[in-house]
Amino acid sequence: LKKILDFLRKCQAFFSLVCQEAVWEAFRIFLDRIPGTSEYQMWVHMCQQESFCISDLGKNFSSSEEHISLVEKVREHQRPGLTLRISEHGSEDLNMSMLDVPPHLDVFLLHVSFKLL
């Protein structure tokens, strides 16, 4: 019984670290900023205490007004004719203008776009 309890404690500690890292990265990727202490703690708490999975975290951040505003800002400032090369799993590269990017790919291209501005 002691080994099972130790194992469960280790799993809980690991899951806690996963939530902390996921929240930190969600702020960095979706909002391009470091979270304030209280908002970070709020999101970590939701991740750890509620039935809240990583995909829920991504959905919440990607549909936030702050993220949508940031994506629009990037699109407005995007240089015409600039093409990004996207490669998935080592497959063929495909070229697309930021203006042609489907909304579900904005998340992945936003960070790249800021580096190009």
For 54-87, what is each residue's pLDDT tens digit?
Answer: 788 889 999 999 999 988 888 877 655 555 554 4
- Rounded CA gap, 75 and 87, in Å? 21
Domain boundaries, the chain: 1-63, 64-117
To 5 degrees, how large is the angle CA 53–CA 30–CA 25? 60
| DSSP state string for 7-61 | HHHHHHHHHHHHHHHHHHHHHHHHHSSPPPHHHHHHHHHHHHHSS--HHHHHHHH
For 4-62, what is each residue's pLDDT tens digit?
Answer: 999 988 888 888 888 899 999 999 999 999 999 999 999 999 888 877 777 888 899 99
pLDDT over threshold 60, residue 103: no
